[in-house]
């Protein structure tokens, strides 16, 4: 066996793609290692969405030169969005890199690595092929104990937001056939996975171009997969949020009540320059519809601060939107120029110091709402899918120092609970079980509770109730 080390930078798409890279190389005798020094092949799966992610990728690639000097047989590959964007230039910039490949070349990776290994060639494959190329599922997936996995349902994007590189590096939107998606989910479930997150840049337009059925129809089919406990998805574009999808939150049993709906800015001027194709009022109207369909829905979002031309008044409108929605959580980033994206040419660039200051203000402003959403759950009973042990022991009170299990609520909030409790069945807790937890404490980024029932076996009935509801 050869050892494969993958460094994944960026979003969930890349996490999924790294699993696909591993799967593509399994038939060539590669198995994944967590030890960089043991690797025969190192792949950096890069992200081009922000300049920081790109710098991180090149800095890691640079460090590999030393490793290759010590081990001349080591092969170095660069994949992902930066590879797609830069292609041959990476070979010139980093002479120790053997292989550069874009996201669409993953199904061809076995052959590409063989050419490098056996023929000693330096290879670039950034071809933007049409359609969704499938990997053979026969090589299965590495069972690393994860009970929640990503499943890609589409690639690329047709929206052309002015700050974004995705349409240029991941190509036009292409949907995957629903039968292949279901086949992959069934395989994951057979291996112990209980939650899947369906991935696409804009899941609302799933299947429309290819006439494969709508995203809501796909959700209904995934809902019927036996043994699967939960469905999530990301990402949904506010302009395309359909009534069907909103209804799905009320109808599809396994669909978790959480939506990540990136708004980016609360100012119409900025939204227009970003080419987001909705207004602040449109966004708020959709939030209202979602909450009417599913009153307990958790809503999270993305923001970009310091977009070219963003004024103080624009930024204050963003803070106002945060207040108006009361998000459960947000991700916020400072705008950075991406050379292939149109906004790189826009006038009115915002100074870095001001961007930093706005980012801090936005995060401080949001913290109040994140904590409010968490505190609102105190006293409630939540179904928690156990994912593993918490990285940190209990913080305070009667559970200080205790080893804790960690999992997520349907609304995607992290819940920790002590390993040793008096709840019947809690001695047999393991990742993949659903536990009923009474929430007793709320922190900004997690909750703490006591188990009240433990599922007897995955997919089985609720076990004993040891605390009165």
Give the x-and-dash track for 158-197 against ligand SF4 (CB under 6 A).
Answer: -xxx--x-xx------------------------------
Minimum CB–partner distance for residue 192 and ligand SF4 (Å): 31
Please report how close the Cβ of residue 60 comes to ligand SF4 at its closest, in angstroms: 24
Q: Check residue 205 for interaction with ligand SF4 (CB under 6 A).
A: no
11 sits near ligand SF4 (criterion: CB under 6 A): no
Q: Which residue has the tokens 């995203």?
A: 215
Q: With respect to ligand SF4, which residue has the nearer C-beta, 71 or 345?
A: 345
Q: Does 202 bind ligand SF4 (CB under 6 A)?
A: yes
331 binds ligand SF4 (CB under 6 A): no
**Binding flag, residue 261, ligand SF4 (CB under 6 A):** no
135-164 mask for ligand SF4 (x: CB under 6 A)?
----------------------x-xxx--x
Complete DSSP assignment for 267-307? -HHHHHHTT----HHHHHHHHHHHHHH-TT-EEEEEEEES-
**Through-space distance between the first and last CA atoms of the chain, rounded to whole angstroms:** 53
Residue 204 as a binder of ligand SF4 (CB under 6 A): the answer is: no
* Interface with ligand SF4: number of residues (CB under 6 A): 10
User: Is 228 in contact with 190 (CB distance < 8 Å)?
Assistant: no
Site string for ligand SF4, 221-240 (x = CB under 6 A): ----------------x---
Q: In what order do the strands lie in the sheet with 329-334?
A: 258-260, 298-305, 329-334
| C-beta pairs of 188-193 under 8 Å, 24+ apart in sequence | 188/141, 188/149, 188/151, 189/225, 189/226, 189/227, 189/228, 190/227, 191/140, 191/141, 191/143, 192/143, 192/145, 192/147, 192/432, 192/458, 193/146, 193/147, 193/148, 193/149, 193/228
Minimal distance, residue 201 CB to ligand SF4, in Å: 4
Choice between 300 and 404, CB closer to ligand SF4: 300
H helices, E strands: number in the chain: 13, 19
Minimum Å distance from CB 54 to ligand SF4?
Answer: 16
In the complex, the smallest distance separating the C-beta of residue 348 from ligand SF4, rounded to whole angstroms, is 20
Residue placing its CB nearer to ligand SF4 in the complex, 303 or 405:
303
Nearer residue to ligand SF4 within complex by CB, 175 or 201: 201
| Burial (CB count within 10 angstroms: exposed 0-12, middle 13-18, buried 19+), residue 96 | middle
Tell which positions 88-117 bind ligand SF4, by CB under 6 A. none
Question: CB of 210: closest distance to ligand SF4 in angstroms?
Answer: 18
Query: Shortest approach of ligand SF4 to residue 261 CB, angstroms?
Result: 12
3 or 51: whose CB is closer to ligand SF4? 51
Ordered strands of the 99-101 beta sheet: 30-32, 2-8, 41-46, 75-79, 99-101, 123-125
Closer of 99 and 164 to ligand SF4 (Cβ): 164
C-beta closer to ligand SF4: residue 160 or 331: 160
The dihedral of CA 118, 119, 121, 124: what is its sign? negative
What tokens appear for 76 in the block?
Answer: 């170095």
- Distance, in Å, from the CA atom of 356 to the CA atom of 296, rounded to the nearest integer, reads 33
Residue 428: half-sphere exposure toward Cβ, Cα within 13 Å: 12
Smaller CB separation from ligand SF4, 20 or 159: 159
Is residue 201 part of the contact set for ligand SF4 (CB under 6 A)? Answer: yes
**Which pair of tokens denotes residue 410?**
């349907």
Nearer to ligand SF4, 276 or 399 (CB): 276
CB 152 within 8 A of CB 176: yes
Q: Any bridge partners for residue 132, and if so which?
A: none
Phi, psi of 265 (to 5 degrees): -155, 155
- Contacting positions for ligand SF4 (CB under 6 A): 157, 159-161, 164, 166-167, 201-202, 237
């Amino acid at each position: 066996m050869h050892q494969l080390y993958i460094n994944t930078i960026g979003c969930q798409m890349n996490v999924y793609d790294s699993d696909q890279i591993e799967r593509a190389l399994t038939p060539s005798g590669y198995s994944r290692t967590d030890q960089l020094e043991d690797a025969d092949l190192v792949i950096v799966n890069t992200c081009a969405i922000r300049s920081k992610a790109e710098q991180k990728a090149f800095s890691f690639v640079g460090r590999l030169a030393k490793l290759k000097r010590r081990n001349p047989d080591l092969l170095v590959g660069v994949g992902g969005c930066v590879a797609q964007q830069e292609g041959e230039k990476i070979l010139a910039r980093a002479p120790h890199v053997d292989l550069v490949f874009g996201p669409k070349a993953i199904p061809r990776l076995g052959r590409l690595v063989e050419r490098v290994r056996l023929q000693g060639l330096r290879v670039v494959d950034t071809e933007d092929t049409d359609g969704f190329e499938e990997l053979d599922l026969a090589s299965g997936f590495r069972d690393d104990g994860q009970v929640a996995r990503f499943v890609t349902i589409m690639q690329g994007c047709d929206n052309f937001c002015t700050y974004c590189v995705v349409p240029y590096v991941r190509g036009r939107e292409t949907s995957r056939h629903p039968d292949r998606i279901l086949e992959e989910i069934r395989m994951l479930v057979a291996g112990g996975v209980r939650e899947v997150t369906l991935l696409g840049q804009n899941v609302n337009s799933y299947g429309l171009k290819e006439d494969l059925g709508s995203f809501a129809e796909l959700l209904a089919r995934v809902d019927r997969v036996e043994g699967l406990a939960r469905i999530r998805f990301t990402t949904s574009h506010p302009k395309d949020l359909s009534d069907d999808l909103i209804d799905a939150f009320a109808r599809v049993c396994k669909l978790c009540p959480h939506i990540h709906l990136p708004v980016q800015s609360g100012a119409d001027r900025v939204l227009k320059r970003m080419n987001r194709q909705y207004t602040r009022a449109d966004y708020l109207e959709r939030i209202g519809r979602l909450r009417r369909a599913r009153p307990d829905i958790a809503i999270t979002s993305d923001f970009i601060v310091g977009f070219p031309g963003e004024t103080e008044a624009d930024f204050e409108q963003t803070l106002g939107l945060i207040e108006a929605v009361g998000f459960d959580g947000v991700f916020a980033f400072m705008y950075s120029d991406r050379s292939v994206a149109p906004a790189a040419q826009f006038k009115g660039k915002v100074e870095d110091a001001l961007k930093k200051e706005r980012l801090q203000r936005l995060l401080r402003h949001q913290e109040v709402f994140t904590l409010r959403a968490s505190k609102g759950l105190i006293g409630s009973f939540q179904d928690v899918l156990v994912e593993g042990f918490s990285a940190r022991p209990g913080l305070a009170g009667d559970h200080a120092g205790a080893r804790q299990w960690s999992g997520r609520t349907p609304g995607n909030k992290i819940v920790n609970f002590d390993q040793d409790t008096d709840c019947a069945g809690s001695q047999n807790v393991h990742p993949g079980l659903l536990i009923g937890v009474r929430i007793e404490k709320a922190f900004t980024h997690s909750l703490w509770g006591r188990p009240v029932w433990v599922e007897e076996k995955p997919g089985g009935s609720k076990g004993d109730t040891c605390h009165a509801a």
